[in-house]
Structure 1
Amino acid sequence: MEQQIQRQTAFKVWISSLLSGKYTKGTEQFEAGFIEVNNTKVSRVNMIGIIIDKFEAETQVSLTLDDGSGSIRIKAWNENISLMTGFNIGDLVIVIGKVKEYNNQVYVTPEIVKTLDNPLWLKVRKLELSKTFGEPARVMTEVAKDSKEEDEDRMNVVEEKVTNEKTQSSREKIFHLIESMDKGEGVHLTDIIVNSGIAEDDIENLIGDMIKEGEIFEIQKNKLRIVG
């Protein structure tokens, strides 16, 4: 009797859990490689995040996905490139695919990539993951290390929830400033500080929260855009 390949469950996990875990190669013909997350062997994943970078070549496409805990590359080659076309930096997407590793860098090969029109899906997923795994510690990824010369001062994510009206008002002010000042290339942090009247230390903390919660994203060092 021929041995059948059993389709693995696509687990919902933080990207940081994949990046901080140890990849184990498959040991048998039909056993996939995996990363152990909370005593579970994860070989397929279901992720929601924002596309923060994109690379296209004739035989390869790579998207960098960020869920607030870390960023990971989604890579496709040859006939699978069609799965990755039509997406732009800033898009919110759901990705289902297989966990792989090459040269000590974990990445995902896609089976499904779809745009999500409502940014609340990212917040829902974060609440779901926080309930299951707890709040993540952001991981400095190989993707981030590759751009370290351009992004030495990438903001740290602040994990405290914003609860007072003054802070919420400041967040709304930052959001509307970025929305109104962005001409297609993002808004520099310095311009936000100058035009908001908010203290520099406070504004960096607020922006860290807003990145984590999926309201805005950083397209390059200190250049910010809103999601959507």
Structure 2
Amino acid sequence: MPTLIMHREVKVGPFMSDLEKGKKAAQVLMQKVPHIIPHKERVVLFRKYVNNEKTVLGLTESACASSQSTLITVHRSRIVEDGYQQLAMLPTQALKGVIRVRFINQQGLDEAGIDQDGVFKEFLEETIKRVFDPSLNLFRATSEQRLYPSPTSNIHENHLSLFEFVGKMLGKAVYEGIVVDVPFASFFLSQLLGHQHSALYSSIW
């Protein structure tokens, strides 16, 4: 396959149609050179995939009665700890489904709004905000305030499990279409993509 594919060679409409039909050639192109399709179109396609999967698995809001959803209880002062304890080992299908959050305030009382979508969104945003706070020492920031895993994260005995939990929470945000602002360092993103660019480590200093 040519390493360079010009945008003009791909007609977006027919290509997107081939993707939705599951045609192998289109899938390979999307995997190898996703930039041939505008980002906006890729987002639309991803949302379609997610919605279709939720329908097939019975994970839509209407399909998930209270008894089929996952209820977690989270103290405001222990959002990361409580979230980790109740969600880290949750099966994949349950994690993709509806998660209901009961917040406990500083006085130890239940907060209102347990069945509102905004409550889970708030929990997810607060969790992500706290796990990426350098003071927790799971992640550090470069001089440009870009985040990467802390070399001393092992001060937490369960640091590897915590990293996995962070990944699941980011995945849940993407799956639900919740936008979060996490400025990762370029060398870390490069590693996640399997690239080897040691020079990028200079941005740590």
Q: Do the structures match in fold with TM over 0.5?
A: no
Question: Normalised by the size of structure 1, how large is the TM-score?
Answer: 0.30
| Structure number having the greater strand percentage | 1
Instruction: Specify which structure has the bigger relative contact order, considering alpha-carbon pairs within 8 angstroms and separated by 6 or more residues.
Output: 1
Whichever of the two has the greater Rg, that structure is 2
Query: Which of the pair is proportionally richer in helix?
Result: 2
